[in-house]
Amino acid sequence: MAIVLGPNRYGKAESRVVRIQRDTPRHEIRDLNVSTALRGWFDAAHIEGDQSAVLPTDSQKQTVYAYAKQAAWDTTEEYALTLARHFVDDIEPVDTARVEIEEYAWERVTTADGAEHDHTWVRRGPEVRTVAVTVSGAGAAQRTWVVGGVKDLTILKSTGSEFRGFLQDPYTVLEPAADRVMATSLVAGWRFSTLEVDWDEAYASIRQALVATFANLHSLALQQTLYAMGRAVLEACPEVAEIRLSAPNKHHFAYDLARFGIENRGEIFHAADRPYGLIQATVMHDDAEDAGPAWESFTGLV
């Protein structure tokens, strides 16, 4: 039986890039964590140790910083698209490039008179915006996929959630809950069907749809909530073909205060760290194309 080299790629992970635009007295900031990965004609590097077709990962890092300055971009998606196209179009052995970016949000400091400060910010978090761009092929046959996303979007509702009527077996000890705390730290990725998108506006619209649906839906289960959140995104943003959601159930258990003679009327909880339920779902248009390359993750962002 022959042994052959299978799929492979290489790149530079987590280059931390901060760009501050100083064109006007009011500065603008973008704070990014950029990872790149290349596929192509690299068999000789693996089989023979021949590096003649290999662009060093250090060169990829230097390109990330140079393009942050030289490329014309206003949004993180535009920056990722420019980087990925450069690697495919300008580096001959490369036939596919993937760029994954985490974007860390900052909000302006408000001065004593209520005005926003021109060049001072406070870091927001832990929520992180994500972007993954894959470019493959050359010329008219070139394909491009853009996946936007968010991770560590932590949401909690103190009521409006229940979980009962579930299947039981000999090991079931969980009591049905007619009114419970529901909380999660959401990871979501959404694939765009077009590149004609106002990227920042789309992110804001999608985030609003996710959060509002979580808040307003009376939930019978986290599964139901995830589907409703995904459906709301597809309705709010027609440019999205599909969305994938991963939601750990961050359990909050009512703490037993009765042993101290104290009544607990759904006010004091133990926030359990682990183990936790993990609910995942994909919501998509029924005619959405298969887009496997869009979801290949280099650093696990999506």
Binding positions are: 57-58, 163, 180, 223, 249
Residue of 12, 86, 157, 250 marked active site: 12
CA atoms of 260 and 72, how far apart (whole Å)? 64
Sheet hosting strand 28-40, strand order edge to edge: 10-21, 28-40, 94-104, 128-136, 143-157, 182-192, 240-249, 277-284
Position 103, amino acid = E
Annotated binding-site residues for O2 read: 57, 249
Residue of 27, 57, 82, 144 marked active site: 57
> Is residue 160 within 8 Å of 214, Cβ to Cβ?
no
Q: Which two tokens stand for residue 246?
A: 């991963």
State the DSSP string of 34-63.
Answer: EEEEEEES-HHHHHT---TTPPPHHHHHHH
Closest by alpha carbon to 183, among 277, 109, 260? Answer: 277
Q: Is 12 a catalytic residue?
A: yes
> Is residue 297 within 8 Å of 96, Cβ to Cβ?
no
What contacts 24+ positions apart, CB below 8 Å, involve 266-272?
266/179, 269/181
Give the CA count within 13 Å in the CB-facing half-sphere of 247: 26
Q: Is 69 a catalytic residue?
A: no
Q: Is 46 a catalytic residue?
A: no
Annotated binding-site residues for urate read: 57-58, 163, 180, 223, 249
Q: Which two tokens stand for residue 243?
A: 């969305």
Residue of 86, 250, 251, 252 marked active site: 251
By annotation, the residues acting in catalysis are 12, 57, 251
